[in-house]
Amino acid sequence: MNYRTLGKSGLEVSTVGLGCNNFGMRIDLDATREVVAKALDVGITLFDTADIYGNMGGSETMLGQVLGDRRKDIILATKFAGPMAAGKTRRDASRRYIITAIEGSLTRLKTDWIDLYQLHMPDPLTPMEETLRALDDLIHQGKVRYIGCSNLPAWQMVEAHWIAREERLTPFISAQDEYSLVVRQIEAEKLPAAQAYGMGILPYFPLASGLLTGKYKRGVEAPADTRFGAIKGLGSRYSTEANWALVEQLEAFCARKGRTLLELAFSWLLGRPMVASVIAGATKPDQLDANVKAADWVLTPEDLAEIDRLPRGDVKPM
């Protein structure tokens, strides 16, 4: 396993991270325990969850039950702002909400601190200064070590850094966004903004929900135990003619190199600017072995140029 610092901060993370969104939703406590144990064995240190994962609290609760003494050995990242009660839709990053949300996460995770506390999504009602001041207070209280953001537009990332600088508040050190060989929209504005302000990039959905694993084929119904099979909206989102054409060309590229599509998906991302760790979920321990192995391929400039010449994918915004 290799390790990188997250942006310009001193926080070191494994280049392959574990996305914990399956815990409490697709797998139970025993399966979660197996996946977490394997992740620790292969050197994964970045564990990324959110309060809303696992049907509102399930993922954090399972992690808290499973980690035990190994909590101190990992970088524990979670998120706030998503609705945590049935019927609620507010994306809330107000001071009032943050102070309540952190206590809930700490309790479920059975820990005294969060290494990376991330604004999960924009809150159109709360001024960014209010959010940053509340997060800064949590850092001074020792409950949070670093802060990051997820799914913010580029202009809001810039605004947040300007406010942090002018008001002498702790800035975001990372941005977590969807990024893969299929979904490259962040390259237009978000990636340049991250470079300008020294923010580490944490790609999620690096395999386009399985499209970049080779498990799905054009015109063939997805198996019921896969993401496409279990969540029909994902299948319709990614299964476009442009994406199938791109995947087939990527598979041909991999065949010439004697590599797999999985290896290309991870290694390509780790060759992109500011990417610190690639976050991928897992429901079985052996998937982690494959993910870690996949990250070892170092693409040449010629490889990257050839991939850039391929037609882009076509994916609807989430």
Q: Give the pLDDT confidence score for residue 115 in this predicted structure.
A: 98
Taking the C-alpha atoms of residue 126 and residue 103, their distance in angstroms, rounded to an integer, is: 20
pLDDT in tens, the chain (318 residues): 999 999 999 999 999 999 999 999 999 999 999 999 999 999 999 999 999 999 999 999 999 999 999 999 999 999 999 988 887 888 999 999 999 999 999 999 999 999 999 999 999 999 999 999 999 999 999 999 999 999 999 999 999 999 999 999 999 999 999 999 999 999 999 999 999 999 999 999 999 988 898 787 777 776 666 666 556 666 778 888 899 999 999 999 999 999 999 999 999 999 999 999 999 999 999 999 999 999 999 999 999 999 999 988 888 766
DSSP secondary structure of the chain: --EEE-TTSS-EEESEEEE-TTBTTTB-HHHHHHHHHHHHHTT--EEE--TTHHHHHHHHHHHHHHHGGGGGGSEEEEEE-S--STT-------HHHHHHHHHHHHHHHT-S-EEEEEE-S--TTS-HHHHHHHHHHHHHTTSEEEEEEES--HHHHHHHHHHHHHHT-PPP-EEEEE-SSS--GGGTTHHHHHHHHTPEEEEESTTGGGGGGT---TTSPPPTTSHHHH-HHHHHHH--HHHHHHHHHHHHHHHHHT--HHHHHHHHHHTSTTB--EEEE-SSHHHHHHHHHHTT----HHHHHHHHTSPP------
Give catalytic status of residue 53 as yes or no: yes
Q: Which domains does the chain have, with CATH numbers?
A: 3-208+262-298 (3.20.20.100)
Q: Give the pLDDT confidence score for residue 215 in this predicted structure.
A: 80
Q: Which of these is catalytic: 3, 53, 117, 179?
A: 53
List pLDDT tens digits, range 229-276: 556 666 778 888 899 999 999 999 999 999 999 999 999 999 999 999
List pLDDT tens digits, range 38-79: 999 999 999 999 999 999 999 999 999 999 999 999 999 999
Q: Give the pLDDT confidence score for residue 312 in this predicted structure.
A: 87
Contacts of 168 (CB under 8 A, 6+ apart): none
Question: CB of 151 within 8 A of CB of 118?
Answer: no
Q: Give the pLDDT confidence score for residue 179 in this predicted structure.
A: 96
